Amino acid sequence: MFFKIKIISKKIFWGAFILNTFNKIYTIFISLLALISVIMVVADFSNTININRVPYLWIDNSILIIFTLDYFGHLFTSKNKIEFIKTHIFDLLAIIPFSTIFYFFRLSRIFRIVRIARVFRFARLIGLMGKLQKNSAKFLKHNGLIYLIYISIVLLLISSVLYALAESVPLSQALWWAVATATTVGYGDISPHTLIGKLAAVLLMFVGIGFIGMLTSSITTYFTDTHEDSKYDQIIKKLESLERENQELSQQIRELKKDHL
């Protein structure tokens, strides 16, 4: 009997472990898709790309389908659907295909004239940003990764400005050099020649090494915590089971006392 209980406990533990791991991988996957969508919408705003043309249209529609399935899947499994809709406004904004709706009703020319289409696209951008923040918040809080990201961005911008001033190059070129250096890629197409430029390069190298190390540590911790969460869930289930057994025993004792009386 004890051996059977032990086997069942192990199955419950590994089931919870696999489920928690899958949920965390899925959360990271959704966060990456939201990040890609944000980048594409921002690039479309700046006229760098046209999101309504191939291949960006295919990518955008594929992500839209995944987000739609994710939203309605959670909606159908939610116990309180009204509350779910109220608390997931960003997710709803992120899946509304405004441009497709306008095209379907043949209103694209009107919206092109008054530029309202961009307003609705901005609403979708807000939804995507909210979805990204919600899904990535827990991961970014591990080991204070969010603070390292803020510091790294500030140092990246400062180094870019210093390099641009010292080397007399455009800021866009300096920013490209800063990103290539910080990510330890170092293409070598741009290199500093002044003392300030070289100091900025050294600073970015240390920032890049520290950031990559911290990111790796946060990912490891994020998935390691799954094991601890599974243990905690198993302990809670055992305590609940013991509590039920205790209540049943108490009830049986009371019934026995009544019989004796």
- Kindly list the structural domains of the chain, giving each domain's residue range(s) and its CATH number in brackets, ordered by start: 1-136 (1.20.120.350), 141-261 (1.10.287.70)
Q: What average pLDDT does this structure show over 24-30?
A: 75
Q: How many CB atoms lie within 10 A of CB 174?
A: 24
Query: Nearest 5°: phi and psi at 176?
Result: -60, -45
Radius of gyration from C-alpha coordinates of the chain: 27
The single-letter DSSP state of residue 106 is T
Give the CA distances from residue 224 to residues 16, 30, 217, 228, in Å, rounded to whole numbers and listed in that order: 14, 20, 10, 7
State the pLDDT at residue 51. 74
* Res 119 pLDDT > 50: no
* Res 224 pLDDT > 50: yes
* Res 12 pLDDT > 80: no
Helix pair angle (56-77, 2-45), 10° resolution: 140
State the pLDDT at residue 113. 41
Rounded to two decimals, what is the model's pTM? 0.48
State the pLDDT at residue 236. 67
Lowest-confidence segment of 29-33, 181-185, 224-228 by average pLDDT: 224-228
State the pLDDT at residue 142. 57
Report the distance separating Cα 134 and Cα 26, nearest Å: 13
CB distance 230 to 20 below 8 Å = yes
CB distance 207 to 187 below 8 Å = no
Burial string for 75-100 (b: 16+ CB within 10 Å, else e) reads eeeeeeeeebeeebebbbbbbeebbe
Query: Nearest 5°: phi and psi at 46?
Result: -85, 5
